[in-house]
Amino acid sequence: MTRVEKKRDQGFSLMELLVALVILALIVGLVAPQLIGYLGRAKGQTADVQIKNLETSLSLYLVDMGSYPSASDGLDALVKSPAGSAKWRGPYIDGATVPLDPWEHAYRYEPSPTGGKPRVFSLGADNAPGGEGDNADVG
């Protein structure tokens, strides 16, 4: 092998590296927005599943206690006994605390004014009422 042929076999040219980088940038530009959208939907779906689990736990609480937790007790009544309640047979969910929503905010709890089923919900990524996409309320 001559010296020129040996040098040519040692690595990539600058043009080849630039073409590879452009191809990678195009792939990332096409895939990243779809992936981000998927992750946003996944968080909303996770919140929905967690809310359904909390509602099931509230139903178990209702069976034992005869009523849903008060506004002051909130969802914490699922993990620790409210003051003066001998009928409490919890905890009704796993863990020492009520889980946070996928955006690291506390789930909201609103008892029904008529004594019916309470509302459990998350305010989404922005932690404010309303919104669209990742900021939409769940529950």
**Domains (range + CATH), the chain:** 57-139 (3.30.700.10)
pLDDT confidence bin for 4, thresholds 50/70/90:
low
Span 107-125, average pLDDT: 88
Phi, psi dihedral angles at 93 (to 5 degrees): -135, 155
Q: Which of 132, 131, 82, 128 lies closest to 105 in space, CA to CA? A: 128
Residue 7 pLDDT: 57
- In this structure, the number of other CB atoms found within 10 A of the CB of residue 99 comes to 15
**If DSSP states are collapsed to H, E and C, what string results for the chain?**
CCHHHHHHCCCCCHHHHHHHHHHHHHHHHHHHHHHHHHHHHHHHHHHHHHHHHHHHHHHHHHHHHCCCCCCCCHHHHHCCCCCCCCCCCCCCCCCCCCCECCCCCECEEECCCCCCCCEEEECCCCCCCCCCHHHCCEC
Residue 137, pLDDT above cutoff 80: no
Residue 115, pLDDT above cutoff 60: yes
Residue 96 pLDDT: 85
Tens of pLDDT along 31-86?
777 777 666 678 888 888 899 999 998 999 899 888 899 888 989 989 998 887 78
Q: What average pLDDT does the chain have?
A: 83
Cα distance from N-terminal residue to C-terminal residue, the chain = 72
Residue 14, pLDDT above cutoff 90: no
Which residue would you say has higher pLDDT here, 9 or 25? 25
